[in-house]
């Protein structure tokens, strides 16, 4: 891989003194900006420092480490996502919208979005997102234990697909046309003796794209919830 040098001209101090103290929120904002770039190297302590005119080590006065910073940035994403969901929608449409908005937010910020599937932010954004989903499931009429269970299934489904898509964006050979490539690319002609079922379905499998797989998975979970409500106690 070829990296552009990014060298500082003449290596001097090169940095102008900031006119006011650095704030936590500025670091979070810069993290969200850099996280939009689909490049693993774009989001690092040193790159943040350059963008904020501070030394990378100054970040550690505001966050315990890069993980802590990423958590804060993710939480800001959840806060934004929740704000975009109209309260007036009925429960299923609200959950569908929340799923799609979460996907979009995570995929648009792949640098931090890749961590969504494994990272709990423990912040107000996360709490608001959980609260929203739980409220929808209550409204659907599920009993308490199923509210909790389907929250977990729904959240893990959405977060995992979103993260996978974000990760895929970061490693895509061609940064353009992001959502167009297939979800998986098996060999175009698998050995029918060794893999007969794959050979029969290879065209179908190759035809899947990320968006389609996300929509299918979300629909499966929502359909199950709806059927539980219709015939409870199974």
46 binds, among DNA, its own copies, none (CB under 5 to 8 A by kind): DNA
Q: Which residues contact 210 (CB under 8 A, 6 or more apart)?
A: 161, 164, 165, 168, 179, 181, 183
8 binds, among DNA, its own copies, none (CB under 5 to 8 A by kind): none
Residues binding DNA: number (CB under 7 A): 29
Query: Nearest distance from residue 11's CB to its own copies, in Å?
Result: 28
Q: Which of 57, 67, 73, 82 is nearest to 24 (CA)?
A: 73
Q: What is the DSSP string of 109-176?
A: SHHHHTTTTT----SHHHHHHHHHHHHHHHHHT--HHHHHHHHHHHHHHHHHHHHHHHHHHHH-SSSS
User: What angle separates helix 91-108 from helix 144-171, to the nearest 10 degrees?
Assistant: 30
Q: What is the DSSP string of 178-195?
A: GGGSBS----SS--TTT-
58 binds, among DNA, its own copies, none (CB under 5 to 8 A by kind): DNA
DSSP state, 168?
A: H
C-beta of 94 vs 109, nearer to DNA: 109
For residue 151, state whether it binds DNA (rule: CB under 7 A). no
Q: Which stretch binds DNA (CB under 7 A): 2-10, 99-107, 208-216, 220-228?
A: 2-10
Q: Which stretch binds DNA (CB under 7 A): 57-65, 79-87, 100-108, 211-219?
A: 57-65
Chain centroid offset of residue 164 CA:
8
Q: Which of 101, 97, 42 is nearest to 77 (CA)?
A: 101
For 71, the enclosing helix (H) or strand (E) is: helix 66-83
Instruction: Tell me the per-residue interface mask from 62 to 101 with DNA, x by CB under 7 A, - otherwise.
Output: x--xxx----------------------------------
C-beta of 60 vs 151, nearer to DNA: 60
Binding residues vs its own copies (CB under 8 A) = 67, 117-118, 120, 122, 124, 126-128, 130-132, 134-135, 138, 144-145, 147-149, 151-153, 156-157, 160-161, 163-164, 167-168, 171, 183-187, 190, 194-198, 200-201, 204-205, 207-208, 212-213, 216-217, 220-221, 223-224, 227
For residue 41, state whether it binds DNA (rule: CB under 7 A). yes
Category of 11 on φ-ψ map: left (φ > 0), alpha (ψ -120 to 50) or beta? left
C-beta of 26 vs 215, nearer to its own copies: 215
| Site residues, DNA (CB under 7 A) | 1, 3, 5-7, 13, 15, 17-18, 21-22, 41, 44-47, 49, 53-58, 60-62, 65-67
């Amino acid at each position: 891989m070829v990296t552009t040098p990014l060298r500082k001209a003449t290596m001097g101090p090169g940095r102008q003194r900031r006119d006011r103290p650095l704030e936590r929120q500025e670091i979070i904002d810069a993290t969200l900006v850099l996280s939009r770039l689909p490049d693993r190297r774009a989001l690092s302590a040193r790159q943040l420092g350059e963008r904020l005119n501070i030394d990378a080590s100054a970040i550690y006065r505001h966050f315990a480490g890069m993980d802590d910073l990423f958590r804060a940035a993710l939480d800001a994403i959840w806060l934004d996502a929740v704000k975009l969901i109209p309260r007036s929608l009925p429960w299923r449409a609200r959950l569908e919208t929340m799923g799609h908005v979460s996907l979009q937010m995570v995929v648009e910020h792949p640098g931090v979005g890749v961590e969504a599937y494994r990272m709990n932010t423990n912040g107000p954004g996360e709490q608001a997102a959980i609260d929203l989903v739980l409220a929808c499931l209550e409204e659907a009429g599920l009993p308490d234990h199923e509210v909790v269970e389907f929250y977990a299934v729904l959240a893990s489904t959405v977060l995992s697909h979103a993260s996978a898509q974000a990760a895929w964006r970061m490693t895509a050979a061609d940064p353009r046309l992001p959502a167009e490539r297939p979800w998986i690319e098996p060999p175009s002609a698998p050995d029918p003796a060794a893999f007969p079922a794959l050979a029969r379905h290879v065209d179908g499998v190759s035809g899947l794209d990320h968006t389609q797989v996300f929509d299918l998975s979300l629909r499966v979970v929502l359909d199950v919830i709806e059927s539980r409500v219709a015939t409870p106690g199974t």
